[in-house]
Amino acid sequence: MSAALFVIPLWADLLAVGIGALQGAMFAAQFKDRRLDLLGVAIIGISTGFGGGLLRDILLSVDLAPLRSNWYVIVATGAALLGMLLERIFSRLNPLITALDALTIGLFGAIGTTKALALGVPPAPAVFVGVLAAVGGSILRDLLLNLPIALMHVGSLYAVAAVGGAGTLVVLVQFGVDISIAAVVGVALTFGIRVLAVFFKWSLPEQRRIERLPRIPRLGRAR
């Protein structure tokens, strides 16, 4: 391993999983036309909670970390059911939830990217894996709920925040910065971009194409 793994304590990892699962359940609860049963809520919670981590480990061809301890499933399911029951209270805490979610993306992104780097993956794919770990849960959630994938449609810079954080992380590591510091910077950047984007309502340009191609003057003819 070329870089020491950014090992975060289990409680912090589970906290991220829990918030992710809570978020997922709340997201699902807002749809009046697709009501889930309890198992459905649990499944959505699991997919948003550690779906990203599962995807990351599959792509890196390593043992699936979330399946190596009882706690992940317990926390994800518990948080999801909690989110479902207490939806009314939590939806009033929306800013707090958004901020915590931004922190979660940052943490998952940092964990994913550093794990990839530690396994010898080059910088660009490491960013890809990190971003996928950060947002994979939400992609899975949208697929399970049969919704258009929120990430890909015009909206607040969700994945971009993850890309920014993960990208900064690998750049810093390339310059020899200590992995822990790089990870913290990455998390902070992701958190910052995401929170500011929600606050200032930033978004990426919609897809565009070049409408008018530059005209090339015809040779041999005076213009």
Partner 1 sequence: MDEAIFEIPLWSELLAVGVGALMGALFASRFKDHHLDLLGIAIIGVCTGLGGGVLRDLVLSVPVATFQSNWYLIVAVAASLLGMLLERVFSKLNTLFTVVDALNLGLFAAIGATKGIAFGVPAVPAALLGLLTAVGGSILRDVLMLTPVELLKVGPFYATAAIFGTTTLVTMTTLGLPILPAAITCVVVTFIARMVGFTFGLRLPEQRRLERLPHPSRLRPAKDSDTPPV
The stretch among 90-98, 116-124, 171-179, 193-201 that binds partner 1 (CB under 8 A) is: 116-124
Question: Is residue 192 within the footprint of partner 1 (CB under 8 A)?
Answer: no
Question: Is residue 169 within the footprint of partner 1 (CB under 8 A)?
Answer: no
Question: Which member of 1, 39, 213, 222 binds partner 1 (CB under 8 A)?
Answer: 213
Of the two residues 152 and 181, which places its CB atom closer to partner 1 in the complex?
A: 152
Question: Is residue 67 within the footprint of partner 1 (CB under 8 A)?
Answer: no
Closest separation between CB of residue 156 and partner 1, Å?
Answer: 10
Question: Is residue 40 within the footprint of partner 1 (CB under 8 A)?
Answer: no
Compute the distance between CA of residue 38 and CA of residue 83 in angstroms, rounded to an integer: 12
Q: Taking the chain, what is the end-to-end CA distance rounded to the nearest angstrom? A: 64
4-23: string of b/e by CB count within 10 Å (b at 16+)?
eebebeeeebbbbbbbbbbb
Question: Which member of 9, 176, 205, 220 binds partner 1 (CB under 8 A)?
Answer: 205
Compute the distance between CA of residue 8 and CA of residue 183 in angstroms, rounded to an integer: 11
155-182: string of b/e by CB count within 10 Å (b at 16+)?
ebbbbbbbbbbbbbbbebbeeeeebeeb
Residues forming the site for partner 1 (CB under 8 A): 58-61, 116, 121-125, 127-129, 139, 143, 146-149, 151-155, 159-160, 163, 203-211, 213
